[in-house]
Amino acid sequence: MRVMLRARLDTRLGNEAIKDGTMPQAMQTLMERLKPEAAYFSPSEGKRSCTIVFDMQDSSQIPAIVEPLFTALGADVEIVPVMNLDDLQKGLAAL
Q: What is the pLDDT of residue 93?
A: 97
Q: What is the pLDDT of residue 4?
A: 99
Q: What is the pLDDT of residue 71?
A: 96
Q: What is the pLDDT of residue 1?
A: 95
Task: Say which CATH class 2-93 falls into.
Answer: alpha beta
Q: What is the pLDDT of residue 65?
A: 96
Q: What is the pLDDT of residue 87?
A: 96
User: How far is 69 from 94, CA to CA, in rounded Å?
Assistant: 37
CA 69 to chain centroid, in Å, comes to 9
Q: What is the pLDDT of residue 66?
A: 97
Q: Give kind and range of the element (H or E) at residue 76.
A: strand 76-81
Q: What is the pLDDT of residue 90?
A: 96
The pLDDT tens digits of the residues spanning 22-73 come to: 999 999 999 999 999 999 999 999 999 999 999 999 999 999 999 999 999 9
Domain boundaries along the sequence of the chain: 2-93
